[in-house]
Amino acid sequence: MRGISVTYTDRGAGYPVLFIHGHPFDRTMWEPQVRALAGRGYRVIVPDLRGYGGSTVVPGTTNLDTFARDLSALLDHLGLDVVSAVGLSMGGQVALELYRLFPDRIDSLTLAATNPRPETEQGRAARLAMAERLRAEGMRGYADEMLVGMMTADNVRELPEVADHVRAMMYAAPPEGAAAALLGRARRQDYVPLLRRVSAPTLLVGGQHDRFTPPGFTESMHVMVPDSVVEIIEGAGHLPNLERSERFNEVLRRFLDRCRARV
C-alpha cells in the first residue's frame, strides 16, 4: 500500500485498537498489551511503521503525516472505519497527526510519553546530528547509550528480560529508517492547539521517572484536552507499557472498556 509493504499483527475480535510504536522500536514493544487485550473483546492492530521492523525502509525524510497516511491506508485495507488509537512517544505524535488528518476515524486516543510541542532549535539540531550518526555508524552505539533513559537505571537492573527486549529492538532498527523519522520529527508542527480541539475521549499516560517527557508534560496536556484522564505510572521511565506492564494494562483496559461501552 502507498508504495510500501507493511508488516502488522492483527489479533482478536471486537472493539478495534490500533497500537503505534515509538522510535527506535517496532510492533513487538506492544506484546504485553496484545496479550492483555486480544481475544477479550478487542481486535488489536499493531503495525511496524515504515522504516522499522519488517516494513519497507524508505530513505530520506519521513514526516509524521506520512506515517499517519500509511496507517489510514492500513485501516482501509483491513476494512476498519474507526479505531481507538494508542501511541507512545513518537507513536503518540503519529496518533495526534492521525487525529488531525482523519478525526472521524478515531474513537478514542491514548497518548503515552508524548510531547505535543514542536521541536526546539537545540532539539532540531540534535536530531539532525543523530540522523547523520545513525546513517554513518548504525544503531548499536546509540542503543547502548539510550537504554538507560528509555528505561530507568533501576529497571534495567531489575527487569533484565525487558531490558534485553528494548535493547534488541533498538539494535534491529534499520538505521536509514530511524534517521528518516528523526529528520521528520525535527520539523514537526505544534500539536498544542490541536489538543484543545480533541473531542475524542483521551487517556494521557506518563512514567514517574521519564526524563524525555516528564510527568509535567502529561499533566499539562490533561488541562488542554477537554475529555481526558491522566495517569502517572510509578516506577516507570519512558516505556511504562514495558516497565510496568501490569499497571499500564490495567489503566488502558479500564479506559478502553469505558470507550467500548459508548459504541
CA distance 206 to 212: 10
Strand 228-233 relative to strand 202-207, pairing = parallel
Sign of CA pseudo-dihedral 166, 171, 172, 174: positive
For residue 39, what pLDDT is reported?
86
- Give, for all 263 residues of the chain, the pLDDT tens digit: 999 999 999 999 999 999 999 999 999 999 999 999 998 999 999 999 999 999 999 999 999 999 999 999 999 999 999 999 999 999 999 999 999 999 999 999 999 999 999 999 999 999 999 999 999 999 999 999 999 999 999 999 999 999 999 999 999 999 999 999 999 999 999 999 999 999 999 999 999 999 999 999 999 999 999 999 999 999 999 999 999 999 999 999 999 999 998 87
C-alpha cell at 50: 515504515
60 CB-contact burial (10 Å; exposed 0-12 / middle 13-18 / buried 19+): exposed
Is the omega angle on the peptide bond into residue 226 within 30 degrees of 0, that is, cis?
A: no
Per-residue pLDDT reduced to its tens digit, 161-212: 999 999 999 999 999 999 999 999 999 999 999 999 999 999 999 999 999 9
Grid cell, residue 35, equals 496479550
Q: Residue 43 and residue 53: Cα distance in Å, rounded?
A: 21
HSE toward the beta carbon, residue 176, CA cutoff 13 A: 8
Q: Which fold has domain 8-262?
A: Rossmann fold (3.40.50)
Tell which phi-psi region holds residue 80, choosing left (phi > 0), alpha (psi between -120 and 50) or beta: beta
pLDDT of residue 80: 97
The domain segmentation of the chain, as residue ranges, is: 8-262
Report the pLDDT value the prediction gives residue 262, as an integer from 0 to 100. Answer: 80
- Give the number of other CB atoms < 10 A from CB of residue 64: 23
